Structure 1
Amino acid sequence: MKEAAVSGGLSLARRRLLRLPRFNRSKLSASDLFVYGAAIAVAIIILCAIVPQWLAPYSPTAMQADQVLLHPSWAHPLGTDYFGRDVLSVVIYGSRDSLIIGFVSVLVGSITGGLIGALAGYAGGIIDTVLMRLVDVLMTIPGVLLALAIAAALGPSLTNVVLAVAAATVPGYARVMRGQIMSMKARPFITASRSIGATGPVIFWRHVLPNSLSPMFVMAAIGIGSSILTGAGLSFLGLGTIKEIPDWGALLSQGRGYLTVAWWICTFPGLAITLFVLSVNILGDRVRDRLDPKRSRG
């Protein structure tokens, strides 16, 4: 009996030891760590844009003649610029306009392009032909060039930059939405809805449109980064916002003349753009993996 009990205890202990490696499988993978890191980076930058006065150590407009072009130090972690302003404070305050350009332009472009694509795909016929030919004309112009032309025509301001960047993204959203709507119209449950007497508007708003939005969400999540890059490019060329507190693109433009003497003036705004765009792209890839049923089955 004692031997049986001992052997039973050993076998139980052995089984418990064999279960220990299973806890290792529950650890986060490398991709999960990247996603969580990207989410933290995006959250911090968004917090900088919402409440910059809580995070900035100095005023972004405070000019000190005796602290011009100081190297990064404990007092000024990112150094100072040619006006004696703290670069860290200017970068934190400049995140607001950069994020407004990225998020609002994606919102405006996705809604406008989505409505055009939905109308063209569901109506068909002459409406589809006319709308898609206009979209094809816009797609022949590179997005950056189209945004540059619109911003130059409207003049430098935050609203005009948002409209210019949004207009450059409209053709892509319209194409994606049209394809989704046309694919959804051919589904069996849409035919069944028609057979029981459902009207066209009811089918569109209750069945076709809600089931066609997933690719738009994915495209919008990934498009935020490219919109910020386009907005920064316009600001770099002098077509962005003209304010006392410049955005990241304007900071790059202002610091390029001092690159050999004060590399930190334009390096850290560039790193801020890189970090945010990279983080948004990582999160966009995760959103795509979650919303794409083909990838989730794979």
Structure 2
Amino acid sequence: MREAATMKPIWRVKRTAAAYHRALPKPTVSRLLVYAAALIVLFLIVCALAPQWIARYSPTDMQADQILLPPGAAHWMGTDYFGRDVFSVIVYGARESLFIGFASVIVGGLSGGAIGALSGYFGGRVDNALMRVIDVLMTIPSVMLALAVAAALGPGLWNIILAVALSTVPNYARIMRGQILSIKNRPFIMASRSIGAAEFPVFIRHVLPNSLSPLLVMAAIGVGTSILTGSGLSFLGLGELKEIPDWGSLLSQGRGYLTVAWWICTFPGLAITLFVLSVNVIGDALRDALDPKKRRS
């Protein structure tokens, strides 16, 4: 009986320890996917910021004796019709492609967020006037709107950024307006007003910070969409002609060699696909992290 009495607590301790280890969070497939996506995005950002650390050759180094070489040990992604290393051109072209994506999201997100915040918080005539403009923009598909604006402004880097940003403004405005409408009449906002707080401090300190989560998630996912749209505009010839082309221009230049040199188009397209997919995965993870219903206690 004494041995049994002394063994029982030890068994409980072992059982508790085993239950504790089973309860520890383990890396799931989705979490590993997020880590992989973050590494891909980080690598491409490094390529854009410091391409000389990654690329083996200069993107302007043309070698007449190495034209249209297939992928191999010397050139991992082959060479193009000028004898340039495709991998080096993709690495150096990441700077402009990523700049289009991030800059258009910043411009479109700030503009659309400001419109939605003003419309949702003040309501009345301000809401009606701003939302009617947004409704007109939403009747036009975003790609067609970006194409029309880019064609009207002409080729150029900043013209593409403005075109892509304008096509995303309606979505940001609608998201922000809905969040403001759902928060501005909640009890803690009404309590702030009841103690004499002014409207502008209430908006800045309470309403706006509690409305930014969906906008941040949409902006994270929108980076990939903006790069895809910007690459499409460059593919159609609306991008700026430079010595080092962006990913969309690479696709456009290599489509004529698709039957004889598939790697010229394949690898820039793969870079676009990987970045867009990785950003979408990170955006989904950010949405789950900011959703209070999915947070663990």
TM range (shorter): over 0.9
Tell me which stretches of 4 or more aligned residues in structure 1 moved more than 2 Å. Answer: 11-27, 294-298
Shift, 1:91, TM fit: 0.4
Matches of residues 235-246 of structure 1 in structure 2 within 5 Å?
235-246=234-245
Normalised TM-score (structure 2): 0.94
Partner residue of 2:118? Answer: 119
Shift, 1:295, TM fit: 3.2
Matches of residues 194-213 of structure 1 in structure 2 within 5 Å?
194-213=193-212
CA distance in 1, matches of 2:36, 2:229: 24
Partner residue of 1:175? Answer: 174
Partner residue of 2:270? Answer: 271
Shift, 1:221, TM fit: 0.7
Q: Provide the alpha-carbon RMSD of the alignment.
A: 2.3
Partner residue of 2:75? Answer: 76
Partner residue of 1:86? Answer: 85
Shift, 1:25, TM fit: 5.4
> What whole-Å deviation, never above 9, does each CA across 1:6-45 have from its counterpart, x for those lacking one?
x949x66993798299369543110111000001111000
Matches of residues 15-54 of structure 1 in structure 2 within 5 Å?
15=14, 19=18, 22=21, 26-54=25-53
- Contact conserved, 1:97 with 1:247, CA < 8 A, in 2? yes
- Contact conserved, 1:120 with 1:128, CA < 8 A, in 2? yes
Secondary structure of the equivalent of 2:166? helix
How many percent of aligned residue pairs carry the same amino acid?
66
- Structure 1 pair 15/191, CA: closer, same or farther in 2 (3 Å)? closer
Secondary structure of the equivalent of 2:91? helix
- Structure 1 pair 289/255, CA: closer, same or farther in 2 (3 Å)? same
Secondary structure of the equivalent of 1:213? helix
Shift, 1:156, TM fit: 0.9
Secondary structure of the equivalent of 2:135? helix
- Contact conserved, 1:256 with 1:266, CA < 8 A, in 2? yes
Partner residue of 1:219? Answer: 218
- Contact conserved, 1:241 with 1:247, CA < 8 A, in 2? no
- The one-letter code of the counterpart of 1:45 is L
Shift, 1:186, TM fit: 1.2
1:288 aligns with 2:287: yes
- Structure 1 pair 221/241, CA: closer, same or farther in 2 (3 Å)? same
> What whole-Å deviation, never above 9, does each CA across 1:27-78 have from its counterpart, x for those lacking one?
3110111000001111000000000011110000111110000010110000
- The one-letter code of the counterpart of 2:143 is V
> What whole-Å deviation, never above 9, does each CA across 1:173-202 have from its counterpart, x for those lacking one?
001111111111110111111111111111
1:191 aligns with 2:190: yes
> What whole-Å deviation, never above 9, does each CA across 1:127-150 have from its counterpart, x for those lacking one?
110100000000000000000011
CA distance in 2, matches of 1:125, 1:196: 25
Matches of residues 1-16 of structure 1 in structure 2 within 5 Å?
4=3, 8=7, 15=14
Partner residue of 2:108? Answer: 109
Secondary structure of the equivalent of 2:27? coil
> Mean alpha-carbon deviation: is it higher for 279-288 or for 21-30?
21-30
Gaps of 5+ in 2: none
Partner residue of 1:128? Answer: 127
> What whole-Å deviation, never above 9, does each CA across 1:88-114 have from its counterpart, x for those lacking one?
000000101110011110011000000
- The one-letter code of the counterpart of 2:200 is P
CA distance in 2, matches of 1:104, 1:170: 13
- Contact conserved, 1:94 with 1:248, CA < 8 A, in 2? yes
Secondary structure of the equivalent of 1:45? helix
- Structure 1 pair 125/14, CA: closer, same or farther in 2 (3 Å)? closer
CA distance in 1, matches of 2:184, 2:201: 13
- Contact conserved, 1:65 with 1:84, CA < 8 A, in 2? yes
Secondary structure of the equivalent of 1:58? coil
Normalised TM-score (structure 1): 0.93
CA distance in 2, matches of 1:75, 1:282: 33
